[in-house]
Structure 1
């Protein structure tokens, strides 16, 4: 379960086989870097990508960006070697693809335990298969098990469309039941969830609309395939100044001595409950974390 609130508005995939991209990532205004060994890397470049990612993390320079390595699935020829290298590199998290069940994450977590991986090393789970959609609740529940280390869901909408034959049309009507199921499963497990990629990175209007949709659904951020998507993504997933000020007013009001025992009060002519104060605390924490990043 996420222990510290940190912004995860943007998570940019960077192919591990591209050394220039790994270096450029150190200069980008991005919350999370997904250093990829899987889909973005050709089979004959897997070994190179693994070495370059390990060397890049060892060299440092990524600042307060959250660094995540996406490995290949364990049932591929590269999966176990990827996992060993990722444990040794010790990023912030390892992104596990093709998670079909809680047992898949428990298996990876067990391997981390055998290797005595630091407790700070977390697991993220790609939600991208029909089985994952059917087992979302059980997978999300791993977030409540400290032994599993699960911290975040990442929606793999391209693979999900491929496996289910559902169309990725504007508005994502066919995807909506699965997306919202995974949001609910993530929240039940106390973890974050990131929306899938938007493939047409030149379509700024369509991308902005899908970011806004993801934010409305309760996603914490979105996975990206190009740096030009960063600014509109941050606009959509950052709390507005009005939201921040409203959250502060609610919290300030509930902290007044005369409101200490009340479950509901009036603020600016509106009835608010303590649950709104709790929601507001997260808004404030996210805003403060974003501001701290500069």
Structure 2
């Protein structure tokens, strides 16, 4: 698994009737979704229908809301009957969050008559708490990879950009990236690089090449062209543990 194409729930069905060279798809329940109950319900319904259409062609993961949001149970109840290959958990704050999600999945698998442990987990380190907890990340049976998302700890509106003009991360995202690599190595799982924040081909190729060189085995992308590029850049024979 090298390229993971992330799409919003409302665009996932379009992907289902087209072709993609991505190794896996992440159907995101959080992109372009307003805070209303109706909007979240529609996103979950779209995701479930998309999984039904895509399943069997490639691996399908669902990016749910953060555990702290209070929406994860509804997210899982909606998509688990469609049997996704795994769940992507943003804002993961260490092993405890992964184990918490694993317990929820165990209950749902039992109710649905699925094999225990069948649903995989990919936690994303994407906030300050997750960064501080990354060093204690331990192996968890369902956890097959650890990824990250760039963020800035400031909450004000005038936060600086995450990358400089040369396409290199500033201090906080660079630290998050490094700790993700170390956490994945320690846990013996695949390290997944974040989508490139700058929307230029030069920045993307530089970022993807640097990620492969540093030890990431896969990368989240947001376009089909980038999925093809990642498949060319990343090697299939990279070991999970660095």
TM class by smaller structure: 0.7 to 0.9
The gaps in structure 1 that reach 5 residues or longer are 1-7, 240-281, 287-294
Question: How many correspondences in the alignment?
Answer: 226
Task: Tell me the residue number matched to 1:181.
Answer: 179
Higher relative contact order (CA 8 A, sep 6+): 2
Task: Tell me the residue number matched to 1:232.
Answer: 229
**1:86 aligned to which of 79, 89, 100:** 79
**1:43 aligned to which of 35, 38, 49:** 35
Output the TM-score relative to the length of structure 2. 0.83
Tell me how far 1:43 sits from its aligned partner: 3.1
Q: Are 2:203 and 1:206 equivalent residues in the alignment?
A: yes
Q: Matches of residues 274-285 of structure 1 in structure 2 within 5 Å?
A: 282-283=237-238
**Rg larger for:** 1
1:73-94 CA-to-partner distances (Å, cap 9, x unmatched) read 2332532100222322221110
Task: Tell me the residue number matched to 1:168.
Answer: 163
Output the TM-score relative to the length of structure 1. 0.70
Tell me how far 1:137 sits from its aligned partner: 2.5
**1:218 aligned to which of 199, 215, 219:** 215
The gaps in structure 2 that reach 5 residues or longer are none
RMSD: 2.4
SS class of match (2:152) = helix
**2:143 aligned to which of 150, 155, 158:** 150
1:200-259 CA-to-partner distances (Å, cap 9, x unmatched) read 33x1111100001101110111111122212222222136xxxxxxxxxxxxxxxxxxxx
Task: Tell me the residue number matched to 2:49.
Answer: 55
Q: Are 2:11 and 1:18 equivalent residues in the alignment?
A: yes
* Structure with more helix by fraction: 1
State the alpha-carbon separation in 1 of the partners of residues 152 and 14 from structure 2.
28
2:163·2:198 contact (CA, 8 Å) conserved in 1? Answer: no
State the alpha-carbon separation in 2 of the partners of residues 225 and 171 from structure 1.
19
